[in-house]
């Protein structure tokens, strides 16, 4: 292994000990990197039933295999721990420059164990690793800490938590510098429970490729592929916001806590025009040729003076649709989330949940201290601060909507979550697709980022009564260029009848995204549309010198997915948990409710495709054997 | 020919910071070309992120006509190439004192931490990888006159020229 940085750094905060281990060749072969390493480490290290806030929880950061090369979008790193929000495998992916610094400091994986008796932060400078006191930083918001740490550790990248993580808000995030973060599943609270405020990393070691010329060729090919994607130009201009209007037209956005499907004037609040109006220059993560981020500056109005990287669809939907705020308030909400270290999706979900409880009369002004309404930004931000500081009703809401719902009569009806995690953006009653089935099958709960159809067509929204298929809708060339084994492609997409089969595509998409998260590339649509296992195998091979075939890579991604499923089952996940909130089956939206029985049938097809038991969703022994995941003693 | 006269016709790298997204590809390509390793710290081009200006600015050697580094080099290693007008150096003799780095108003001369010598952009013998590898066209490799021409063209198309003329349109400068 010529250039696998090839080191795991293990820091035990309980004892203040630091250990550096080599990565075994077997681990690289089987799990590639990134989320794969995380899955194996968490499965091996966390005892069953461990308290997410306890000493035995383990927090792992791993940079993807290709991070540090110019391969397009290779910037991403994965953070994982047992989630305080879902109780299962908690994991989140972030771009920017942290992964690059971690890799060039000489480490693929950073494992944090134990619990420090007092607030500390970790500073990594190649081999020089220190655990330093964070007394002066504790309680401060993120941007202030970044300013301080950037001065003190010049040139370092910083992962840190804000007051939300310190106060163990169950959906706190770990922030990645000022503007990015590992948002979902409450990893910030895990970091807070370990009394760890921040990690600064600076690396000075260059990385050598096994075959530099071959790698450059793969990079060039990768860039050309992405540039040829149908969504490339739209993405370089408007980023993720491209999807905002189509979903609103389908009446499938999370408006007012999933009661409306769309909002009047949504185009002006949360569509592409807001990029023209508020955005300025584009910002990229390391090695990215898409640059979907924008600098935003608010020069006038109530929130004048905000300057940040923003205008992504997820926060826009979360605060614009779910909570009903206007664009300037959305930008303010993003700023608050980043300063205080909160997951934007869950924050919006919990605020929307609270507002609806208020509107339904389940909680009153006496409980909250002030009035709540959709679209009232001042009240929403007041409540936001109460959640961060766990004051009054905020203390209940900080537990996440599922736990909070247990405190209120009929609460579960208004808590829009799957397995404890708040659902983002889209309403499956408005549009049923691979994406929405993915919210049920996702290994981290109600989330949209681990299963996306690489060839999703946003021009059509035809509902299949059996929930089994969606319209393909592209020309034959798109089908031909999709990098997928031929036989599987024929089973997944029926070109003649213009159909994509949802369960088949879900499995492929989940494994593909898992592969992306292993090698550290991004899941933006232009990448997903064109970059498949073939080109990734070429790049990985050129970089590491290990021979990977595309099929092996996909198998290892599947292995990781199965291992995470085993982790969740071990923690007591039930098959019944793969279910949408009650509202989606009971309350009509656009005259539609979801049919629980039919969705269950589709799930069963999906389980069978995965080689899992169709009733319990547990991987069959033969599947585990095929993936070399058998438990010792079985 | 005198290097200063050559200066007008030499090709240089011009920076269009408005287009830079900060993806850092130029840094990686530079470092691997020059050192065989991937790392922004080894690159001769550095991107400065300026959130307060909402800008990312690539900084690299501008090959000045009167380079202060040339004056400050105690070992006399820095010279203007008589044919191209580029500011070059004999890296093998460098003692790593970094006086040139400090003297440069842009700090565009940078320490190569592997060899412990100071280096600057040498334009890759006429085929700079950072330029060909920039996905946004933020780096341009061209003659000064062409860069000036482009800038003038851009200014004119923005209406700056029209604005400078009197309203009646006859132009009586």
Check CB contact under 8 Å for A206 and B31. Answer: yes
**pLDDT band, very low/low/confident/very high, at B42 (cuts 50, 70, 90):** confident
Mean pLDDT of A538-551: 91
Q: To which H or E segment does residue A207 belong?
A: strand A207-208
Residue, of A539 and A208, whose pLDDT is higher: A539
Check CB contact under 8 Å for B23 and A223. Answer: no
CA closest to B48 among chain A residues = A155
The reply to whether CATH 1.20.1250.20 applies to domain A434-626 is no
pLDDT in tens, A285-322: 899 998 888 888 888 889 988 888 878 899 999 999 99
> Can you give the pLDDT at residue A4?
58
**pLDDT band, very low/low/confident/very high, at B30 (cuts 50, 70, 90):** very high
Whether the CB of B57 is below 8 Å from some CB of chain A: the reply is no
> Can you give the pLDDT at residue A512?
94
Whether the CB of B39 is below 8 Å from some CB of chain A: the reply is yes
DSSP state of A464: P
User: CB–CB of A609/A504 below 8 Å?
Assistant: yes
Residue A381 has pLDDT above 50, yes or no: yes
Q: Which residues of A touch B21 (CB under 8 A)?
A: 281-284, 288, 291
Q: What DSSP string describes B37-95?
A: EE-GGG-SSEEEEEGGGTEEEEE-----SS-HHHHH-TT--EEE-TTT--EEE-GGG--
Q: Mind telling me how many Å the CA of B107 is from chain A's nearest CA?
A: 16
A596: Cβ–Cβ under 8 A, 6 or more apart, which residues?
Answer: A579, A585
Q: Mind telling me how many Å the CA of B85 is from chain A's nearest CA?
A: 31
pLDDT in tens, B47-94: 988 877 888 899 999 888 899 999 999 999 999 988 888 899 998 899
pLDDT in tens, A209-228: 888 889 989 999 999 999 99
User: CB–CB of A518/A500 below 8 Å?
Assistant: no
| Candidates 3.30.2320.50, 3.30.70.20, 3.40.50.1000, 3.20.20.300; CATH matching B3-156 | 3.30.70.20
Cα–Cα separations (whole angstroms), residue B171 to A36, A317, A358, B153, B156: 70, 53, 68, 19, 16
| Candidates 1.10.569.10, 3.40.190.10, 1.10.287.90, 1.25.60.10; CATH matching A241-422 | 1.10.569.10
Give the closest residue to A502 by CA, choosing from A441, A580, A421.
Answer: A441
Q: Mind telling me how many Å the CA of B149 is from chain A's nearest CA?
A: 24
pLDDT in tens, A115-153: 999 999 999 998 899 999 999 999 999 999 999 999 999
Q: Mind telling me how many Å the CA of B152 is from chain A's nearest CA?
A: 22
Instruction: For domain A7-202, give the CATH superfamily.
Output: Aldehyde ferredoxin oxidoreductase, N-terminal domain (3.60.9.10)
**3-state secondary structure labels for all residues of A465-519:** CCCCEEECCCCHHHHHHCCCCHHHHHHHEECCCCEEEHHHHHHHHHHHHHHHHHH
Check CB contact under 8 Å for A287 and B52. Answer: no
Check CB contact under 8 Å for B54 and A281. Answer: yes
Check CB contact under 8 Å for A295 and B114. Answer: no
A165: Cβ–Cβ under 8 A, 6 or more apart, which residues?
Answer: A172, A173, A174, A188, A189, A191, A192, A341
Domain ranges across chain A:
7-202, 241-422, 434-626
Inter-axis angle of helices A502-519 and A434-441, nearest 10: 70
Check CB contact under 8 Å for A206 and B29. Answer: no
Q: Which residues of A touch B38 (CB under 8 A)?
A: 68-70, 104, 206-209
Instruction: Quickly count: other Cβ atoms within 10 Å of residue A33's Cβ.
Output: 30
pLDDT in tens, A390-407: 999 999 999 999 999 999
Q: Which residues of A touch B24 (CB under 8 A)?
A: 97, 100, 284, 286-287
C-alpha B34/C-alpha B42 separation (Å) is 8
Q: How far apart are the first and last CA of chain A?
A: 32
Q: Which residues of A touch B54 (CB under 8 A)?
A: 280-281, 295, 297, 307
Helix (H, G, I), strand (E, B) or coil at B119: strand
Check CB contact under 8 Å for B18 and A281. Answer: yes
pLDDT in tens, A29-46: 899 989 999 999 999 999
Q: To which H or E segment does residue B15 belong?
A: strand B11-15
CA atoms within 13 A on the CB side of A547: 0
Q: Mind telling me how many Å the CA of A604 is from chain B's nearest CA?
A: 43
Helix (H, G, I), strand (E, B) or coil at A303: coil
Q: Mind telling me how many Å the CA of B35 is from chain A's nearest CA?
A: 9
Q: Which residue is it, tokens 């003297």? A: B103
Check CB contact under 8 Å for B39 and A204. Answer: yes
Mean pLDDT of A351-367: 92
Check CB contact under 8 Å for A286 and B23. Answer: yes
| Residues written for chain A | 634
> Can you give the pLDDT at residue B7?
46
CA atoms within 13 A on the CB side of A559: 24
Residue A634 has pLDDT above 50, yes or no: no
Whether the CB of B41 is below 8 Å from some CB of chain A: the reply is yes
C-alpha B95/C-alpha B114 separation (Å) is 13
C-alpha B32/C-alpha A331 separation (Å) is 39
Check CB contact under 8 Å for A288 and B23. Answer: yes
C-alpha A177/C-alpha A334 separation (Å) is 14
> Can you give the pLDDT at residue A632?
56
Q: Mind telling me how many Å the CA of A224 is from chain B's nearest CA?
A: 10
Asked if the ipTM is above 0.90, the reply is: no
Beta-strand ranges (E) seen in A83-186 are: 89-94, 109-113, 120-125, 128-133, 157-160, 174-176, 180-182
User: CB–CB of A48/A570 below 8 Å?
Assistant: yes
Mean pLDDT, chain B, rounded, equals 83
Backbone phi, then psi, for A552, in 5-degree steps? -65, -40
> Can you give the pLDDT at residue A633?
46
Q: Which of A284, A308, A522, A526 to mutate to test the interface with B (most CBs of B within 10 A)?
A: A284
Give the closest residue to A51 by CA, choosing from A110, A111, A115, A122.
Answer: A115
Helix (H, G, I), strand (E, B) or coil at A14: coil
């Amino acid at each position: 292994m010529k250039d696998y940085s090839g080191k795991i750094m293990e820091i035990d905060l309980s004892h203040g000990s630091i250990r550096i281990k080599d990565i075994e060749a077997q681990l690289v072969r089987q799990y590639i990197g990134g989320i794969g390493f995380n899955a194996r480490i968490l499965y091996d290290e966390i005892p069953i039933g461990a308290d997410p806030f306890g000493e035995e929880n383990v927090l792992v950061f791993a940079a993807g295999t290709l991070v540090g090369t110019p391969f397009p979008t290779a910037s991403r790193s994965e953070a994982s721990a047992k989630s305080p929000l879902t109780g299962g495998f908690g994991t989140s992916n972030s771009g920017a420059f942290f992964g690059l610094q971690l890799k060039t400091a000489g480490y693929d994986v950073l494992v944090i164990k134990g619990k420090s008796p007092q607030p500390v932060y970790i500073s990594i400078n190649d081999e020089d690793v220190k655990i330093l006191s964070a007394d002066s930083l504790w309680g401060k918001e993120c941007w202030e800490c970044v300013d301080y740490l950037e001065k003190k550790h010049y040139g370092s990248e910083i992962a840190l938590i804000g007051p939300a993580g310190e106060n163990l808000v169950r959906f706190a995030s770990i922030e990645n510098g000022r503007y990015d973060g590992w948002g979902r599943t409450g990893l910030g609270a895990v970091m807070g429970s370990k009394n760890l405020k921040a990690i600064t990393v600076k690396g000075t070691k260059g990385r050598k490729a096994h075959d530099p010329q071959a790698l450059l060729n793969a990079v060039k090919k990768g860039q050309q592929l992405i540039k040829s994607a149908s969504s490339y130009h739209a993405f370089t201009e408007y980023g993720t916001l491209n999807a905002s209007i189509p979903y609103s037209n389908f009446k499938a956005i999370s408006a007012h806590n999933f009661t409306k499907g769309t909002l009047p004037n949504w185009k002006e609040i949360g569509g592409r025009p807001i990029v023209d109006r508020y955005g300025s220059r584009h910002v990229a993560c390391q090695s990215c040729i898409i640059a979907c981020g924008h600098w935003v500056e608010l020069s006038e109005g109530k929130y004048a003076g905000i300057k940040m990287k923003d205008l992504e669809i997820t926060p826009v939907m979360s605060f614009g649709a779910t909570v009903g705020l206007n664009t300037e308030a959305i930008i303010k909400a993003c700023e608050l989330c980043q300063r205080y270290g909160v997951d934007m999706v869950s924050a919006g979900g919990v605020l929307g949940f609270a507002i609806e409880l208020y509107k339904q009369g389940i909680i009153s002004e006496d409980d909250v201290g002030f009035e709540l309404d959709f679209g009232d930004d001042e009240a929403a931000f007041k409540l936001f601060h109460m959640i961060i500081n766990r004051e009054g009703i905020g203390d209940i809401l900080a537990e996440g909507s599922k736990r909070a719902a247990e405190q209120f009569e009929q609460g579960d009806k208004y808590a829009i979550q799957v397995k404890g995690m708040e659902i983002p953006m889209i309403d499956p009653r408005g549009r049923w697709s691979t994406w929405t089935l993915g919210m049920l099958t996702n290994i981290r709960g109600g989330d949209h980022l681990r299963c996306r159809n690489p060839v999703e067509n946003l021009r059509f929204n035809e509902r299949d009564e059996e929930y089994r298929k969606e319209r393909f809708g592209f020309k034959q060339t798109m089908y031909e260029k999709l990098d997928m084994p031929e036989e599987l492609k024929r089973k997944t997409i029926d070109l003649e009848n213009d159909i994509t089969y949802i369960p088949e595509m879900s499995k492929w998409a989940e494994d593909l995204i898992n592969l992306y998260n292993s090698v550290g590339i991004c899941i933006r649509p232009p990448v997903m549309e064109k970059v498949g296992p073939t080109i990734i195998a070429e790049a990985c091979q050129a970089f590491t010198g290990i021979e990977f075939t595309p099929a092996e890579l996909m198998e290892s991604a599947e292995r990781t997915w199965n291992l995470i499923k085993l982790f969740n089952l071990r923690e007591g996940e039930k098959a019944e948990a793969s279910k949408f909130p009650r509202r989606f089956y009971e309350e009509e939206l656009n005259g539609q409710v979801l049919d629980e029985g039919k969705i269950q049938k589709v799930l069963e097809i999906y389980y069978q495709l995965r080689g899992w038991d169709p009733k319990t969703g547990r991987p069959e022994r033969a599947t585990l054997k095929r993936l070399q995941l058998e438990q010792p003693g079985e | 020919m005198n290097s200063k006269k050559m200066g007008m016709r030499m090709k240089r790298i011009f920076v269009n910071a408005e287009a830079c997204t900060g993806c850092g590809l130029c840094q990686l390509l530079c470092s691997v070309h020059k050192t065989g390793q991937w790392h922004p710290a080894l690159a001769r081009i550095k991107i400065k992120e300026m959130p307060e200006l909402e800008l990312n600015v690539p900084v690299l050697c501008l090959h000045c006509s009167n380079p202060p580094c040339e004056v400050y080099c105690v070992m006399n290693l820095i010279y203007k190439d008589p044919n191209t007008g580029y500011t070059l150096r004999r890296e093998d003799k460098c003692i790593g004192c970094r006086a040139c780095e400090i003297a440069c108003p842009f700090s565009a001369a940078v320490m190569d931490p592997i060899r412990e010598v100071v280096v600057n952009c040498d334009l890759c013998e006429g085929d700079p990888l950072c330029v060909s590898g920039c996905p946004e066209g933020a780096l341009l490799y061209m003659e000064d006159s062409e860069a000036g021409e482009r800038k003038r063209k851009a200014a004119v198309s923005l209406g700056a020229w029209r604005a400078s003329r009197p309203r009646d349109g006859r132009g009586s400068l």
